[in-house]
């Protein structure tokens, strides 16, 4: 569960990343105001889905969610979405820990990593 401060940070990062991906010529669905809401993927709503130059499912995690069971479950589900790259966006200070946990402990294949100041 995100704190209200981290929820605001999360939503601003989702919005910024969705704008970037739209600027690359992709169709973008994002779970924030100003974008159409993504459809469920194996029972979970992704933060961002793109179709176009690259088909991406992007998940933004904050310091209080990157290592949670919900994150594990949804990333595992998104990892099975064929024809989509899985992107995970985490706070820069947690990148190494998140990468170790998600790739090596949970065994989830992440195609793209991005970080933000946090």
Euclidean distance between CA atoms 44 and 38, whole angstroms: 10
Contact in structure between 21 and 58 (CB atoms under 8 Å) = yes
For the chain, the distance separating the N- and C-terminal CA atoms, rounded to the nearest angstrom, is 17
Q: Closest Cα partner for 102 from 117, 86, 116, 118?
A: 86
84 to each of 9, 23, 71, 98, how far by Cα in Å?
25, 19, 18, 21
Per CATH, domain 4-116 is 3.40.50: no
Q: What is the mean pLDDT of each run of 10 residues along the chain (118 residues)?
A: 82 97 96 97 98 95 95 97 96 97 98 93
Does the pTM of the predicted model rise above 0.85? yes
**Domain range summary for the chain, segments of one domain joined by +:** 4-116
DSSP for residue 31: S
């Amino acid at each position: 569960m995100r704190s209200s401060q981290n929820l605001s940070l999360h939503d601003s990062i989702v919005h910024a990343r969705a704008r970037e991906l739209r600027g690359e010529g992709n169709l973008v669905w994002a779970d924030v105001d100003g974008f159409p809401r993504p459809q469920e993927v194996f029972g979970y709503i992704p933060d961002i889905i793109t179709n176009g130059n690259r088909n991406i499912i992007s998940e933004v995690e904050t310091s209080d969610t990157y290592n949670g069971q919900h994150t594990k479950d949804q990333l595992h589900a998104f990892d099975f979405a064929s024809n989509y790259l899985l992107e995970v966006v985490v706070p820069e200070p947690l990148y190494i820990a998140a990468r170790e946990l998600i790739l090596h402990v949970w065994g989830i294949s992440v195609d793209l990593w991005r970080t933000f100041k946090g």
